[in-house]
A and B are shown apart, each in its own frame.
Chain A
Amino acid sequence: KAGVTQTPRYLIKTRGQQVTLSCSPISGHRSVSWYQQTPGQGLQFLFEYFSETQRNKGNFPGRFSGRQFSNSRSEMNVSTLELGDSALYLCASSLASGGKETQYFGPGTRLLVL
């Protein structure tokens, strides 16, 4: 069974540009969530999607947006990049079934904003 795939793995952008990151969940998982990890702020929840609907959103500005497609693949977009957006962006796919929850993370996309 293939794991969670994130593309690209590494990305360098300059301030003011925008970026789109992609996440392909494990087959059969309909929930995808996104996280930002930085040395200063730690792990922070961005948003979670289930069946193409955003179920919740963390405390991030509107420059951060996402979507989920009918095949459960998800994208997140950051517009007008700032230096502080440099981070590791992780996505996870999860499945809740029979009272149990399983969650698997992708390897992350490392974004550097210059």
Chain B
Amino acid sequence: GEDVEQSLFLSVREGDSSVINCTYTDSSSTYLYWYKQEPGAGLQLLTYIFSNMDMKQDQRLTVLLNKKDKHLSLRIADTQTGDSAIYFCAERVGGGRWGKLQFGAGTQVVVTP
């Protein structure tokens, strides 16, 4: 497909792990990103991964990259109510540092107590 695809909604209980999945389009994408947007707040770059990596861990966040399937996932350990937000994945299409950024539609994560 031509679009970066994400599931639209995820509900998770506080303290559980969340996994947000994304399928990207360009096998030559060298940078893949996860962004967070909270209601009334700005967009925030959460983390990113280079295509030569399979996994990246940053505190409670773990990014997994499966290049064969063009699949990217973000795992949030010990999910907190403050993690309720919309999460966007994005790829740099065309390879390199200056490729065009293409975003998914976003996954709304709702954390329930």
Which residues of chain B have C-beta atoms less than 8 A from A35's C-beta?
Answer: 43, 101
Other-chain residue from B44, B90, B94, B97 in contact with A105 (beta carbon distance below 8 A): B44
Distance between Cα atoms of A42 and B48 in the complex (Å): 20
Which residues of chain B have C-beta atoms less than 8 A from A108's C-beta?
Answer: 42
A57 engages B100 (CB within 8 Å): yes
CB<8 Å pairs between A and B, sample of 13: A33-B101, A43-B88, A43-B103, A48-B98, A56-B100, A58-B101, A92-B43, A92-B45, A101-B31, A103-B45, A105-B42, A105-B43, A107-B42
The answer to whether A96 and B101 touch (CB under 8 A), given A105-B42, A108-B42, is no
Closest 7 CB pairs of A and B: A43-B103, A55-B98, A45-B101, A103-B45, A105-B43, A105-B42, A42-B105
Q: Is B102 an interface residue (CB 8 A)?
A: yes
Distance between Cα atoms of A80 and B38 in the complex (Å): 32
The answer to whether A106 and B42 touch (CB under 8 A), given A43-B88, A48-B98, A56-B98, is yes
Distance between Cα atoms of A45 and B94 in the complex (Å): 14
Max chain A C-beta neighbours (<10 A), residue from B42, B103, B104, B106: B42
Q: Is B15 an interface residue (CB 8 A)?
A: no
The answer to whether A96 and B88 touch (CB under 8 A), given A45-B102, A105-B44, is no
Q: Which residue of B lies closest to A90 (CB)?
A: B43
What is the interface residue range for chain B against chain A? 10 to 19
B103 engages A42 (CB within 8 Å): yes
Distance between Cα atoms of A50 and B97 in the complex (Å): 11
Which residues of chain A have C-beta atoms less than 8 A from B88's C-beta?
Answer: 43
Which residues of chain B have C-beta atoms less than 8 A from A105's C-beta?
Answer: 42-45
